[in-house]
Amino acid sequence: MPRTFGNLIAGKEVDSATTFESRNSSDHADVVGVFPEATREQVREACIVAREAFPAWSKTPAPIRGELIGRFGEALAREKEPLSRLVTREMGKTLKEARGSVQEAIDTCRFFQSEGRRLYGQTVPSEMPNKELFTYRRPLGVVGIVTAGNFPVAVPSWKIVPALVTGNTIVWKPSEDAPTVAYAFVRLLAEAGLPDGVLNVVFGGGKGAAGEFLVDMMDEGRLDKFAFTGSTAVGRQVGEAAGRNLLHPTLELGGKNPLVVMRDADLDNAVQGALFSAFATGGQRCTSAGNVIVDAPIYDAFVERFLAQVAQLRIGDPNQVPDVMYGPFINQRFFESWLAHYDVGAADGATKLYGEGRITADNRPAGWAGTDPEAAYYGWPTVWADVRPGMKIFQHETFGPTINLVKVDGIDEAIEVANAVDYGLSSAIYTMNRDWAFQFKDRIESGMTSINNTTNGAEAHLPFGGVKGSGNGTRESGIWVLEAYTYWHAVNDDVSGKLQLAQMDTAYAEPKGAVDVASLV
């Protein structure tokens, strides 16, 4: 029998009348766990508990909070292999990628452990005598967090770890696609010594469920910050609710990321980079490449090599076959949305070079390496050509194993086409020409850029986030994320014993008259 879990509120498991099953994305017959659908009242209670826990946690010295995060990182490192295998089982990521996702959370803990000793303010000179000015970072309060299922360890760590180090308390609604991973994540934090009520977890879906209820808590005045990873459409709704309440949300949203291959590129390297950018996690990454933009002189050679590699991609259950490029769709909703893009591409007039929809027993690519393709939702790697700006398939995020090939002529057209989408998350260029590389990184409308590397991938000490439809300018990771979970408190301390009014009583130096330098010569 699969284990039944509860919401985690004030350190206790809280059941709900309605439950849902988390199933193995690669084998839908395998139930990983049974979880509660949190009610609106339970979400509200979690916010109340987090508010009650805030005074004590926010007054815990920041270096002590950092040490706790360090112990959490040690626990993650100890449990890296079983946690990685749980990620693979529950949401279908390959084991290599799952290990990388857990390692990123470990790296995040190691980085922010020391930030607990570096939450610096400033000492600022005053224009008045016997007066000192200071600035301090202060925690915001209660943070509502909603995360997606494609990176169920790394992405939550980007939000939860800095929020905790800076003294905030949290209500987290993890993805319903990876709730068991979330439960393990929180239990390891509790092992590290996190006090009850500082991090509360409510399980369930999004619309009409726990996710929507948590967003609604902003209108009830129960949250001081909201952090969201997901689609741009839902991110706009979160942003609207935050705006009504004068909150500054963290919005990490979708992407239609360009990968440019210039005429002087190392083609073998570019092909491998395009393959991983397009098909890692089955294209279910916000940083997946959407459009590969290829310079005309090498277009045919690139396409030939790329298609040859696509036809050899190994696909299957990553629990059974460790060396597949990608496994199943995370859920049926993502699969059905991806399947609909075939009609979009045909209506746009694009040319399908490779791909035949759902992989079944009677419809399998040469690289199929699994046993029963119909035990889950698997998709053919799909390649479109003759794609141009303005087409829906060029513009819209597909979120599946699909890539578009776009022919351009020269660096100027390449950059123009790369910018011709409503998103601006990630980007990449393959070139040996340093001027072209400089032009690309200088003119691209994107929060992140790689030169001779993939569109995906992140490091724990570098800012992650986008512009345009990919986000609202906030950043995850590194020192930059501290701005998202703190506010600046300015303090002036006057020990003069009398009223001193800046600008009005300031003893500015008076000029003594102009000096005619020419008369001195």
> Does 286 qualify as catalytic in the annotation?
yes
> Does 67 qualify as catalytic in the annotation?
no
Catalytic hit among 286, 336, 374, 483: 286
Report d(CA 208, CA 221) in Å as an integer: 20
Residues in the chain, how many?
Answer: 521
Pairing of strands 12-14, 423-424: unpaired
Token output for 286: 């916000």
DSSP-assigned beta bridge partners for residue 13: 8
Are 145 and 156 in contact by the 8 Å Cβ rule? The answer is: yes
Selection from 425, 398, 415, 176 nearest residue 279 by Cα: 398
Q: For 260-271, give the DSSP string.
A: EE-TTS-HHHHH
Pairing of strands 450-451, 27-36: unpaired
| Cβ within 8 Å of residue 509, ≥6 positions away | none
Are 128 and 139 in contact by the 8 Å Cβ rule? The answer is: no
Selection from 1, 20, 29 nearest residue 317 by Cα: 29
Catalytic hit among 37, 115, 176, 252: 252
Token output for 278: 């397009």
Q: How far is CA 181 from the centre of its chain?
A: 17
Report d(CA 446, CA 434) in Å as an integer: 19
- The alpha carbons of the chain give a radius of gyration, in whole angstroms, of 26
**Segments in 192-310 forming alpha helices (H):** 210-216, 232-244, 267-279, 299-310
Are 296 and 264 in contact by the 8 Å Cβ rule? The answer is: no
What residues are annotated to the active site? 252, 286
